[in-house]
Amino acid sequence: MRTSTRKNADGSKVSYLQLAHNEWDPAAKTSRTKVLYSFGRADQLDRAAIERLIKALTRLLGSPTAGGRGRQEPLPGLEFVESRPLGGAWLLDGLWRRLGIDRLLRRLAAGTRRDPVVERVLFALVANRALAPSSKLAATGWVAHDVHLSGLTGGDYTVSDDACYRAMDWLIKVEEKLARGVFDAVADLLNLEVDLIFFDTTSTYFETEDPDTPVWRDEHGRVLDPDGEPGAESGRESDAEGDAPPAGASGRAGFRTHGKSKDARDDLPQVIVGMAVTRDGIPVRVWCWPGNTSDSPLIRQVRDDLRDWTLGKLIWVADRGFTSAANRRHLAAGGGGYILGEKLRSGSPEATAALARQGRYQQVAENLRVKEVKISEHERFVVCHNPEAADRDAATRDRLLTRLEAMIAGSDRLTPTKRAELRGVISTKPGLHRFLRTTPGGLLRIDATKVAADARLDGKYLLRTSDPHLSTEDIALGYKQLLEVERGWRDMKQVLDLRPVYHRLEDRIRAHVLLCWLALLLARIVETRAATTWTRARTQLQRLHVGTFTGPAGVFRQTTPADPETRRLHQALDIALPPRILHLHTEDPAPR
């Protein structure tokens, strides 16, 4: 058996198998190889056809079976070395290539000093995040021993933690071009409806007591160098107090710093992460800001960053943190629009006016009723009522009232000073304090009027939009899809393990978030095309293994049979299953 290898233009190698023997050339007085038969590519070997050939030759020779399925003894010297999960990485790699991310990264790295396998290293980090989330140091061990990755397993290249960090440092430099290229590929593959963009933010904290040193930043939260340009190194020390700010500076802040935590961890430094998602749940892009950044101005930067993308007319959907007048003007500029929500309990003039308007609710979904109210000539307002949410609000209020009753029980017998102290304690608990009333005599009571007023708001919220053509139903259901972003945050934190973040430098933290976004993107495409959850698909795919065998003739890797569900997942994504003989090299055995 002879193996010939050909190198493709992209650097990959393809092996071919041939049946050959040597013949003596008396004229040239040398031995020449004559090819008797070509079996084709080694990774597409038709094993069944070879077994049939062996059986036919065996019958011709009349000797016992030596190569058919009935053979009981292994080939002399053949040894099973290891088995690794293959299915998850194979499917993700196929999707990665279908989206052209491999070609995009190689094109961006062309002409630079980047290692030629930087694309493979970045894919390994994304696959690790999707399949077995861990630190970058642990990911190198995972690649070396616990998974089969095309281009990395069994080759001469060993993924080190230093290679991972270098790849991450380069990734943040090509973030803009990568995000645009990935979106164009995903929109083409899935034929996305990009008419609604949902945006929301979350925070992620760090297990460290000390926040980062403040540095000068631009309006987008990027570090500025003394000349007013975005700095290349985000872990540098701050300018001394009193130094003049560089041009374009918006303020001083550390990246990991204290702020209003959405994880209820105000005691720890954090960063803010934003995500834009389509109506299909596909994450378009992510952003990172210092931990003390308020929500209000962020959506303006996001809209500007996506302005040149081929998105058509967009309706931006966001929560109550983005309803400022400046945001509304910015989102409506250039023919765009918005759907923004806020609580009726906010007490804003619009909320108060909406509550004062009479009207009949219209049922638009099983658990959603809506009515449009006339408040402004420039915006439309829709009051929504969710009966299930109303029941939850009522149950929450009952628990709060029960707790408040227990706290003030017997307070009439306390001295005025002690009652004042108790009132001060209750004032630190907003959920309880809003239902507390103090009588002219200083006694503590539950305010029945406030309880009744609060009950009238159960399950209700207010939507405002600038689009004059959307139906009331589309406005309400469009906002309801904002849950897709919340589901993205939940999966990024619980399935892909966004936290803990094992990095200190700002650019590494940003790169870590980008890797999590790419992993979430691949997972969402699997869910969209295969009608399943990523958790269920991941468990199923990881049952497909590849075994490695070595012997005197060399090394070969053979995959386990794919079960029906694994076949269905590959068919749904139009990705070929791995060949039964994944690798066959007959020159030198693999190192033990």
Which DSSP string do the residues of 500-547 spell out, in sequence order?
Answer: S----SHHHHHHHHHHHHHHHHHHHHHHHHHTS-HHHHHHHHTT-EEE
CB-based contacts of 173-179 (< 8 A; 24+ apart in sequence): 174/105, 174/108, 175/510, 175/514, 177/104, 177/108, 178/101, 178/104, 178/105, 178/108, 178/514, 179/284, 179/285
Residue type, 44: Q
Residue type, 179: A
Cross-strand partners of 257? 270
The total number of structural domains that make up the chain? 3
**570 within a domain of the structure (yes/no):** yes
Q: Can you give the residue range of the structural domain that contains 260?
A: 79-212+254-319+489-582
Residue in 299, 376, 375 with CA at minimum distance from that of residue 330: 299
- In this structure, the answer to whether residues 173 and 300 fall within a common structural domain is yes
- In this structure, the answer to whether residues 410 and 313 fall within a common structural domain is no
Alpha helices (H) in 282-348, listed in sequence order: 298-305, 325-332
- In this structure, the answer to whether residues 262 and 126 fall within a common structural domain is yes
CA distances from 209 to 56, 216, 265, 499 (A): 74, 22, 12, 16
- In this structure, the answer to whether residues 424 and 572 fall within a common structural domain is no
Domain boundary among 24, 46, 73: 73
Three-state secondary-structure class, residue 46: coil
- Per-residue pLDDT at 300: 85
Q: CB within 8 A of 233, min separation 6: which ones? A: 223, 505, 507
**375 within a domain of the structure (yes/no):** no
- In this structure, the answer to whether residues 270 and 168 fall within a common structural domain is yes
Q: CB within 8 A of 298, min separation 6: which ones? A: 201, 272, 274, 287, 289, 322
Three-state secondary-structure class, residue 132: coil
**286 within a domain of the structure (yes/no):** yes
Domain boundary among 45, 73, 101: 73
Domain boundary among 38, 55, 73: 73
Three-state secondary-structure class, residue 28: coil
- In this structure, the answer to whether residues 49 and 169 fall within a common structural domain is no
Answer yes or no: are the C-beta atoms of 573 and 532 closer than 8 Å.
no
- In this structure, the answer to whether residues 150 and 11 fall within a common structural domain is no
Instruction: Provide φ and ψ at 252, rounded to 5°.
Output: -110, 135
CA dist 525 and 283 (Å) reads 10
CA distances from 551 to 65, 74, 78, 97, 223 (A): 20, 11, 4, 33, 56
Three-state secondary-structure class, residue 150: coil
- Per-residue pLDDT at 66: 44
Q: How many CB atoms lie within 10 A of CB 341?
A: 22
Q: What is the pLDDT along the chain (592 residues), one digit of tens a residue?
A: 888 888 877 777 888 888 888 887 788 778 788 888 888 888 788 888 888 888 887 777 765 544 444 444 445 667 899 999 999 999 999 999 999 999 999 999 998 888 889 999 999 999 999 999 999 889 999 999 999 998 888 766 788 999 999 999 999 999 999 999 998 888 887 777 667 788 889 999 998 878 999 998 888 888 887 666 666 554 444 444 556 677 667 788 999 999 988 888 889 999 999 998 888 888 989 999 999 998 888 888 888 888 777 666 678 888 877 888 888 888 887 677 899 988 888 778 888 898 888 888 999 888 899 999 998 888 999 999 999 999 999 999 999 999 999 999 999 999 999 999 999 999 999 889 999 999 999 999 999 999 999 999 999 999 999 988 888 988 888 888 888 888 888 899 888 889 889 899 999 999 999 999 999 999 999 999 999 999 999 999 999 999 998 887 788 889 999 999 999 999 999 999 999 888 777 655 444 4
Answer yes or no: are the C-beta atoms of 479 and 472 closer than 8 Å.
no
- In this structure, the answer to whether residues 266 and 404 fall within a common structural domain is no
**326 within a domain of the structure (yes/no):** no
CA distances from 185 to 33, 95, 181, 286, 347 (A): 47, 11, 6, 17, 44
Answer yes or no: are the C-beta atoms of 168 and 502 closer than 8 Å.
no
CA distances from 460 to 171, 210, 258, 387, 480 (A): 44, 41, 32, 9, 13
**4 within a domain of the structure (yes/no):** yes
**346 within a domain of the structure (yes/no):** no
- In this structure, the answer to whether residues 496 and 442 fall within a common structural domain is no
Residue in 361, 297, 360 with CA at minimum distance from that of residue 331: 297
What is residue 458's DSSP assignment? T
Q: How many CB atoms lie within 10 A of CB 163?
A: 19
- In this structure, the answer to whether residues 177 and 274 fall within a common structural domain is yes
Q: What value does the CA radius of gyration of the chain take, rounded to a whole number of Å?
A: 32
- In this structure, the answer to whether residues 17 and 67 fall within a common structural domain is yes
Cross-strand partners of 547? 83, 558
Q: CB within 8 A of 125, min separation 6: which ones? A: 136, 139, 164, 167, 168, 515
CA dist 572 and 134 (Å) reads 29
**513 within a domain of the structure (yes/no):** yes
- In this structure, the answer to whether residues 1 and 63 fall within a common structural domain is yes
**325 within a domain of the structure (yes/no):** no
What CA dihedral angle connects 199, 201, 202 and 203, to 10 degrees? 150
Take residue 171 and report the two structure tokens written for it: 């990734």
